[in-house]
Amino acid sequence: MKVLILSGPNHNFDKCASVMAEFLNGEDDFDVELNDDKDALVSGVKAFDACVFGTGFYKRVRDDDGNAHWEPDLTSEQEEGIYNYVAGGGGLIGVHGTCWRIGERPMALLGGHANWHPPFSTFTVNIAENDHSITDGVTDFEVDDEIYMTAWFPEVEIHATAQYDNWSHPMAWSKSYGEGRVFYTTLGHGPDTFTRTGMQKLMSQGVRWAGSS
């Protein structure tokens, strides 16, 4: 299975991408390419079974007066390339900030969005008790990360959760989009999350599922 990891500094994903490339390349059935050229989304991505996308649709830009605003991190052609790729049968793996402060069309692709999280903390990721290849053999594990407060579409299948303020919040889900598949995890603020054995197994199986549409 050919896997593209689209790296970049937005949401600090470049630090995570190199760790992901290392453990995913350890899987016998994966051929992984790490690339930071977003123009790959326009046409080159079609050569891959799955694309790991963690740099996100929007970036935070600091203004001269110290305030900040959000603006697109992709050109219209690059963004259109993502939708066409997945709708045509490609597998998309969204990571952490990919769903942060996004519009309606990216929401429909990913299955939800987030715009707030409590402070960074240590917590347990609880694996859902469902019969799915993404969670097969994965047990609960601990991470130091952010618990995104997400809103999600009813059609997503939730594979992992975490508790905050007596509520259960999704940490990973999957869905279809056109002829393709999407696996998304809210986890991944920093590279340490991807050194955890449970997270590596969850991600590897999520990539494999998404890329097998």
Tens digits of residue pLDDT in 160-209? 999 998 899 999 999 999 999 999 999 999 999 999 999 999 999 999 99
Average pLDDT, the chain: 95
Q: What is the pLDDT of residue 66?
A: 82
Which positions ≥6 away from 86 have C-beta within 8 Å?
92, 109, 177, 178, 180, 181, 182
With 90 as the cut, is the pLDDT of residue 80 above it?
Answer: yes
Both tokens assigned to 153 = 């579409």
Report, as an integer, the average pLDDT of 101-125. 92
Say which residue, 186 or 119, is predicted with more confidence.
186
Tally of structural domains, the chain: 1
With 80 as the cut, is the pLDDT of residue 130 above it?
Answer: no
What are the pLDDT digits (tens) for 4-17?
999 998 888 999 99
pLDDT band at 36 (very low <50, low <70, confident <90, very high): very high
- 21: domain CATH number? 3.40.50.880
Report, as an integer, the average pLDDT of 72-81. 96
Answer whether 102's CB lies under 8 Å from 174's CB: no
Both tokens assigned to 116 = 């707030």
Host domain of residue 139: 2-210
Q: What is the pLDDT of residue 101?
A: 87
Report, as an integer, the average pLDDT of 112-124. 90
Q: What is the pLDDT of residue 64?
A: 86
Tell me the DSSP string of 70-137: EEESS-HHHHHHHHHHHHTT-EEEEEGGGGBT--HHHHHHHTEEE------EEEEEEEP----TTTTT
Q: What is the pLDDT of residue 24?
A: 98
